[in-house]
Chains A and B, each alone.
Chain A
Amino acid sequence: MAGAGIVLLVVTLTFSLISLAPGDPARLWVGPGAGETELAAARRALELDRPLAVRYVSWLVDFARGDWGASLAQQRPVAHVLWDALPHTLVLTGASLLLTYVGGVVLGLLQAITRRSALDTGLTVTSLLVYGMPAYWLAIMLVLVFSYGAARFGWPAWLHFPALGVAGLDADFLSPWGRVVDRLRHLALPLATLGAIGIAGTARFVRGAVLDVRGSGFVRTARAKGLSPQTVETRHVLRNGLLPVITLLGLSLPALVSGTVFVEVVFAWPGMGRVMVAAVGARDYPVVMAVTALFAVLVVLGNLLADLLYAVADPRLRRGLS
C-alpha cells in the first residue's frame, strides 16, 4: 500500500516538474518554421490546451491502464519503445546483481576471516578505490584494455572483448551456440564494470557487518559457554552478520539503475538507461515520464522484496508478523 502511494507521488512529482518547466513542448514538436495554426493544432494534439488538472488526471488514468502515449521522437507507442529496451536492461541488471552478491559476500567473508592480513588490507584498499571510480570511466578503461589494448598487443581471442552493442554484426550467420557465445562476450565488459563496483561496495559492507557481529556480546557468550569455534562462526556470526546484506538489496537497486544508465551509454547497450538519456536529449517527455515511473516501480518493488526476505530470514520479525 505504502509502495503504491510512493509510486503515485513519484509520478505526480515528475508530471508537475515537466509541466512547470519553461519551454513549450508543442513548439519543440512542430519545429521553428511552423506558423500559428500549426502550433495551435499541435497544442490540441498534445492536449496542451486543456487545464493542468484535467491533463494530470487523464494522464494518470491512461498511465494506469497501460496507455503510455506515443514517443514524440520515435513516433511510435511508448510501450513499444520500452518493451524493446526492457529485456536488455533486465539481463544486464540481473546478471550484475547476481555477480555483485556472490562476489561481494565471498570477498567480504574472506576479508573478515583473514582480518588484518595482507590479503585483507589489499582487498580493503582495492575495494575503496574501485568504489570511488565513476562507472562510465571504469567502462572506458575496460574498453581501452580489453578491446583496443587486446587488439593492439595481439592478445588471445578469448581475452579480446567487443566494446559495443549486445551482439556482433555477423550474429545472424552464427550457429545457435555461436550466437550464445557472441551474446555472452558482448555482455562481458558491461557486466564487469557494474560487477566490479557492486562487489567492492558489497564486500566492504559484508566485512563490516560480520566483524560488527563478531565483536558483539552474544558471540562472546556463545564462545564462553564452550561452543566450538566452527559453531560460533556459522550459527552465530554468519547468520547474524549476513542479515543486513538483505537490506542492501533494497539499497542497491537505485545504485544499479544509475550504474546501468552510464554503462548502457558507454557500451551502446540498447536498454532503458540509454532510452532515458536519448529521450531526455530529445525532450521526448512521454518517454521520460514512463521510464521515470518504471524505474520508481522497480525500486519500490526491490524494497518490498527486501522487506519480505528480511521477514523470512529473521525469526524475530517473523514472530512479530504472526
Chain B
Amino acid sequence: MTSVRALLTDSRSVVGLALLAGFALFGVFAPLLSPIDPLAQTDVVTTRFLPPLTVGQDGIRRLLGTDALGRDLFTRLAYGARISLAVGLLAVAVSLAVGGMVGVTAAMIGGLPERALMAVTDAALAMPRIVLLLVLVTLWQQSLLLVVLVLGFTGWMGVARLARAEVRGLLGRPFVEAARASGQGAARLLMRHLLPNAATPLIVAAALGVGNAIMLEAGLSFLGLGIPAPAPSWGNMIANGRDALVNAPWVATLPGLAVAVTVVACNLLGDGLRDALDPQSRLASRATPRRPAAGSSVPPARPDAAAAGTSP
C-alpha cells in the first residue's frame, strides 16, 4: 500500500502514467476518435500533403494533415500507438521471461552452469543491440511477431544479470535459509520467497525497457526492417515523412514527437517506480530530491543503454 501511495505522490510517475494511459486510450479508441481508415487512400492528387487543420476537397477536416498518399495522419498516429505499445509491452514480457529464467536458473544452480550462462549473457551484451537486431531481422520474413520476438530475445541479458544478482543476494539471507531448513522445495522457495523479493528491480527495468523497445521498433521500422508497410507504425511514418521534409514537414515531425513523449513517459514511470518500490532509494531521493536515474543500477531507457546491459 505504501508503495502505491508513494508511486501516486511522485510527480514523475504520475506524469509518466498519465501520458502512457493517454496513448493507450488513444490507440484503443482509435476507431471511435477517427472514422477514417488508417490505410485509406482516396484521390491521392487532391488529398496528399494537406497541412494540419485543413479541410480537404472531400470535406473532411484533417486534424494533423495527410501524408504523401493522402492518408490521415491523426488516424495513423492513433493506430500506430496500438502497434508501438503492443510491441513494447510484448517484447518486454519476452525479455522478462527469458532473462528471468536464465538469471534465476544460474543463481540457483551455481557452479559451472552458472558461469557458462553468465558468459553467454556477457557475450550477448557485448554486441551492440542494434547490430544484433539488424542481423536477426533480416534472417526471417518481416512481421509484427518477428519484431516482438527479436526485440524480446535481444533484451533479456540485462534482466538475466539483475535477476541473478538479486536471487544470489537473497539466497544468503536468513529467511531463505529458514525456508530451506523447514523443508521447502526449490519450486516453492522460488515462487514464495525468491521471486516476490527479487521483483522490484525487475519491474523498474521492465518500465524502462518498454520505452526502449518502442524506440527500437520505431528505429527498425524507420530503416524499413520493422513493421511491414502499409501498417501504420510510428517508425515507418517518420521514414515516409523524411522524403517530403521540404513540402510537408509535419509528416515526419509528429510521429517522432509521439515516440519521444512515450519514451520520456516510460523513463519517468521507471524513475518513479524505483523510488516507490525501493524504500532505501525513497529515503535517498528525499535527501536529494528529484534525483535523476543515476546512482542506481538501472539507467533510463535508451536503445543504446540497453545494449550496455543495464536495462532490458
Contacts and interface: CB of A to CB of B under 8 A. Distances in A.
Interface of A: 5-7, 9-10, 13-14, 17-18, 21-23, 116, 124, 128-129, 131-134, 136-138, 140-141, 143-144, 148, 197, 201, 204-209, 211-212, 214-215, 244, 250-259, 261-262, 265-266, 276-277, 280-281, 283, 288, 291-292, 295-296, 299-300, 303
B96 interface: no
Contacts of A295: 127-128, 131
A133 B256 contact: yes
B243 to A, nearest CB: 11
B294 A212 contact: yes
A255 B308 contact: yes
Nearest to A125: B264
Nearest to A139: B242
Interface of B: 119-120, 122-124, 126-132, 134-140, 211, 215, 218-219, 222-223, 225, 238, 241-242, 245-246, 249, 252-253, 256, 259-264, 267-268, 284, 287-295, 299-305, 307-308, 310
Contacts of B253: 141, 144
10 contacts: A128-B292, A132-B267, A144-B249, A204-B293, A257-B130, A280-B135, A280-B137, A281-B225, A292-B132, A296-B128
B48 to A, nearest CB: 19
A205 B299 contact: yes
Contacts of B136: 17
A212 B127 contact: no
Contacts of B139: 17-18, 21-23
Contacts of A276: 131, 134
B131 A257 contact: yes
Nearest 8 Cβ contacts at the A-B interface: A255-B304, A208-B294, A9-B123, A137-B256, A254-B307, A21-B139, A258-B130, A132-B263
Contacts of A9: 119-120, 122-123
Contacts of B294: 204-209, 212, 244
A264 to B, nearest CB: 11
Given A128-B264, A204-B300, A212-B294, A140 B305 contact: no
A132 B260 contact: yes
Nearest to A277: B223
Given A128-B267, A258-B130, A277-B223, A14 B238 contact: no
A254 to B, nearest CB: 4
Contacts of B135: 14, 17-18, 280, 288, 292
